[in-house]
Amino acid sequence: MSISGSSAVADEIASLRAQLREHNYRYHVLDEPSIPDATYDRLMRELQALEQAHPELVTEDSPSRRVGDEPLTEFKQVQHEMPMLSLDNAFNAEEMLEFDRRLKQRLGREEDFEYACEPKLDGIAVSLLYRDGVLQRGATRGDGRTGEDITHNIRTVQSIPLSLLGEDYPPLLEVRGEVYLPRDGFEAMNEQARAEGTKLFVNPRNAAAGTLRQLDPRIAASRPLEMCCYSVGVVEGAGESWPGLQSEILARLQSWGLRINSDSDVVQGIAGCDAYYQRLAEKRDSLAYDIDGIVFKVNDIALQQELGFVSRAPRWAIARKFPAQEESTRLLDVEFQVGRTGAITPVARLEPVFVGGVTVSNATLHNRDEIARLGVKKGDTVIVRRAGDVIPQVVSVIGAERPADAKAIRFPSRCPVCDSPVEQIEGEAVVRCTGGLVCQAQRKQSLKHFASRRAMDIEGLGDKLVDQLVDEDLVENAADLYALTVEQLAGLERMAEKSAQNLVAALEASKQTSLARFIFALGIREVGEATALNLANHFGDLPPIIDASEEQLLTVDDVGPIVADHIRQFLDAPQNLEVITALRDAGVRWEQVQVADAGELPLADQTWVVTGSLEVTSRDGAKQALQQLGAKVAGSVSKKTSCVVAGPGAGSKLARAEELGIEVIDEAAFIALLGQHGVSL
């Protein structure tokens, strides 16, 4: 190749690298993707092809060099040029006030400070070293002075630039931050582990830590690690232009292509810190990642330097921790509950413990396989985790505290409610009662599901009343509900005649429903609201679904082989068809659905989010209307969200949508949109 030809290839490679770095920056740092994924992939393939043809032009900071090299045989030790210190903690507002008082006393001032605030990510602290803008080394915190060289894994993290953007960065720059796993990435890893029959990860932090300590970088490359920067360490050659505020340093890092947390802020005084803490505490469960508190730092770097350090922590920073989401307690006993589909779930009875803001005395152990994986016994001291509204769960056992009289947990061979044999289908972790509707527990749960708000929406038919109806042998299946009389109901405990009349009226009103609600109410295994709606929209009426083969069911969006098999098994059971016929005979009815090609629906391939308090309809009603138009309805806002419907009181989801520049409409505009497409609420 001629010199001019070689120069042209080098220029083309340089251009592709620059484009890919810019797109990486917009996608991973700013959350503002500028091109479709397919276009990004095409640019990457062009670069890889050119580099393969011209290996002499390959550089270590090329965007193509993230897939992971050969495994290491061992980790090397790294001495941090500047120690990576830990933070002191505060656990309440009073301790924050005391922290602020100490700083003012030490500086001899009364006026409030500016504080830089950011979420305390529940991940792994790391150090990144850049020389002349190129990533040279990644290291763990270790003991603060000595860490491990994890450069081979750090290079695979998409939100860490292999070379910095711009030209005004210092010749030597050490960046510090937190590597973590987003919640959806953690769930995807555990889904894969379940599919492969391998050990599940306990929590996102442990999974991130384990990933960074893999000798094979291809493992890290396959996992969705992310990083947010929170400070700098050693900086050389920055000159007088170096920022004088913590918040400005973070902004400078972002301009060089490094990710910072979008929820970071600057507030005035300790009152501002408390307001920020409360705001993030409300958002905590809706965030895409785990946090365990808030970090507050004096924003002025000159004041930081004046305040200095104690032996292990800076005086000018503190972490206010959230109430613990994990605590230890003793497992007293295990009981077994039977669900609607016969699934037998072990429930741990615990010594009450305050965790995640509430007192917990029960926690799920999931299934027999989970008990075996944990190696848990009655009498053990266990770690219990609770996050938001998630059911508390036992996540590990403190083996060193096992008492001598600890007893093994034995899974029942017969149903604890109806004494029917239990079965475990090959490939499934769940043990099920085979009693079907003979089992009172299954009957009760099935009826509760049938009457629930998202199914037949039978107002006044609560859980306790369902229990009474089954215990008194007044109801065996859903169709029997519609034969109940005022006299029968009024004779039940805590049921007056007026309440009985209201329930009979509610049963009558529930007969007019939709096909999707009816399918969902039947309680077919793994057929949720979205799948029920897809079945209704695909087939239009119930008889075609009853007659559909598994092959025909597989043509429905969101129906795979397992779900198709569950549907066929349910509809092939004579007793289930008898109940369906009895329900139709009792007057349960719906309008036939106009079958349309999903690709032709006006909101096909769009993802919507509904948030806040709607006045004309409920969120569920809005969700069903959107699904009728072909939209997918998600529970959180991401860069893939097409539009957000926001009612009064919309909080973090609205803020996230505005931050990402996603279209937001109010309820009036939403109703008008539905009207344009012939959908009424």
Return the SS3 of 549. coil
Name the one residue in this structure whose structure tokens are 């215990």.
Answer: 471
Decide if 515 contacts 593 (C-beta within 8 A): yes
Rounded to whole angstroms, how far apart are CA atoms 646 and 637?
12
Q: Output phi, psi for 316, to 5 deg.
A: -90, 10
Joined together, the tokens standing for residue 7 give: 């120069």
**b/e string for 585-615 if b means 16 or more Cβ within 10 A?**
ebebebeebeebeeeebebeebbbbbbbebe
Return the SS3 of 608. strand
Rounded to whole angstroms, how far apart are CA atoms 74 and 215?
7
Helix H or strand E segment including 607: strand 607-611
- Sign, Cα dihedral of 525, 531, 537, 538: negative
Helix H or strand E segment including 267: strand 265-268
Return the SS3 of 89. strand
Alpha-helical (H) ranges within 269-394 are 269-283, 301-307, 368-374
Is 120 assigned a catalytic role?
A: yes
Rounded to whole angstroms, how far apart are CA atoms 481 and 473?
12
Burial class of 496 by CB neighbour count within 10 A (0 to 12, 13 to 18, 19+): exposed
Task: Say if strands 124-131 and 134-140 run parallel, antiparallel, or are unpaired.
Answer: antiparallel
Which residue is catalytic, options 76, 120, 283, 640? 120
Q: Maximum distance among all alpha carbons in the chain? A: 99
Decide if 523 contacts 340 (C-beta within 8 A): yes
List all residues 6 or more positions away from 549 whose beta carbon is below 8 Å from its beta carbon: 568
Residue in 309, 295, 198, 200 with CA at minimum distance from that of residue 246:
295
Return the SS3 of 358. strand
Decide if 427 contacts 416 (C-beta within 8 A): no
Q: Return the number of other C-beta atoms located less than 10 Å from residue 163's C-beta.
A: 19
Rounded to whole angstroms, how far apart are CA atoms 363 and 386?
9
Catalytic residues: 120
